[in-house]
DNA sequence: ATGGTTGCTTAGCAA
């Protein structure tokens, strides 16, 4: 079973790249973030023709997440479902082929000290609460998406430049470690311990040309699945060519049928 | 400190 995640930065502007990637890499599940669209704006018929069903938590202009899957998704959940008045579409989950897949788009946070930063930190805690409320670490579960967190120095090409930004602070590292304490294993890092693995490069300041990358897109798995993780891909090639997303797909193959 | 680029929407916001 191949599970992938990709922040496409507008699905409509990435339709060709998305379809090409699905055909080339044939994931069983693909979690998408930053759709920047409502469900009715998405090319669901074309995705169906490629063999993919979709569960969508869409939003006009901003945010928006979806799970594409070859198998029928069941037990669908939309949003954090905690009573907070929050219009931002940042979570969708479903069970696919016996695996619970949680697709999230964590708030960017702009900069520490801002209102958006406070929203990010609150959202991270709300996600931990959501996990506690709905799931257990002994279930086969994958949490993946754009976490907007580069947890450790190895996840940043230029750590000194990013330390103290909204992508890397002590509280964000502590949150990532809290996910691990809950039972979510960073299977990508387990499989790929080398330096130089990044999933995002800023469009600005020649971020990609200078390889000023961060690993902020993650795929975490509970123990029953983590022990079955066999290979991980961060598809850097997807950042090349015309009109790439600023993020690239991250995919993990599990020995799970 | 500021700027740089992209997408949505159409001047400004978000990333």
A108 is near strand B: CB distance < 7 Å: yes
Does this model's pTM top 0.85? My answer is yes
pLDDT tens digits, A42-85:
999 999 999 999 999 999 999 999 999 999 999 999 999 999 99
A61 is near strand B: CB distance < 7 Å: yes
pLDDT tens digits, A8-31:
999 999 999 999 999 999 999 999
Question: Going from the N-terminus, what domains does chain A have, and what CATH number goes with each?
Answer: 2-254 (3.60.10.10)
Distance of CA A247 to the CA centre of its chain: 10
For residue A85, the model assigns a pLDDT of 96
Select which of A28, A146, A155, A186 is catalytic: A146
pLDDT tens digits, A100-154:
999 999 999 999 999 999 999 999 999 999 999 999 999 999 999 999 999 999 9
Nearest 5°: the CA angle A245, A249, A253 is 170
How far apart, in whole angstroms, are the C-alpha atoms of residue A53 and residue A51?
7
- Nearest nucleotide to A60 (CA to C1') is B8
Chain A residues 224-253, Cβ below 7 A from strand B? 243
Compute the CA torsion angle A168, A171, A176, A177 (nearest 10 deg).
130
Per CA to C1' distance, which residue is closest to B3? A205
How far apart, in whole angstroms, are the C-alpha atoms of residue A36 and residue A100?
24
CB neighbour list of residue A30: distance below 8 Å, 6 or more residues apart: A3, A4, A5, A6, A22, A52, A67, A68, A69, A249
How far apart, in whole angstroms, are the C-alpha atoms of residue A176 and residue A124?
9
Select which of A28, A52, A85, A105 is catalytic: A105
Helix A170-182 to helix A115-134 angle (10° resolution) is 10
């Amino acid at each position: 079973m191949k599970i992938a995640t990709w922040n496409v930065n507008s699905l409509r502007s990435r339709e060709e790249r998305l379809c090409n990637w699905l055909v080339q890499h044939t994931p069983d599940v693909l979690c998408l973030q930053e759709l920047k669209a409502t469900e009715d704006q998405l090319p669901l018929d074309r995705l169906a023709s490629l063999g993919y069903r979709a569960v969508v938590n869409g939003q006009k202009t901003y945010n928006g997440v979806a799970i594409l899957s070859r198998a029928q998704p069941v037990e669908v959940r939309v949003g954090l479902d905690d009573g907070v008045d929050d219009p931002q579409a940042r979570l969708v989950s479903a069970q696919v082929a016996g695996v619970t897949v949680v697709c999230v788009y964590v708030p960017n946070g702009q900069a520490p000290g801002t209102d958006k930063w406070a929203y990010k930190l609150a959202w991270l805690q709300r996600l931990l609460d959501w996990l506690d409320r709905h799931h257990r670490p002994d279930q086969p579960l994958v949490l993946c998406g754009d976490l907007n967190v580069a947890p450790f120095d190895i996840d940043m090409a230029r750590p000194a430049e990013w330390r103290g930004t909204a992508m890397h602070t002590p509280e964000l590292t502590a949150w990532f470690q809290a996910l691990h304490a809950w039972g979510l294993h960073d299977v990508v890092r387990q499989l790929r311990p080398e330096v130089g693995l990044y999933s995002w490069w800023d469009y600005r300041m020649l971020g990609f040309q200078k390889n000023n990358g961060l690993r902020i897109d993650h795929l975490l798995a509970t123990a029953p699945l983590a022990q079955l993780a066999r290979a991980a891909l961060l598809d850097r090639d997807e950042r090349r060519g015309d009109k790439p997303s600023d993020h690239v797909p991250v995919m993990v193959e599990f020995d799970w049928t």
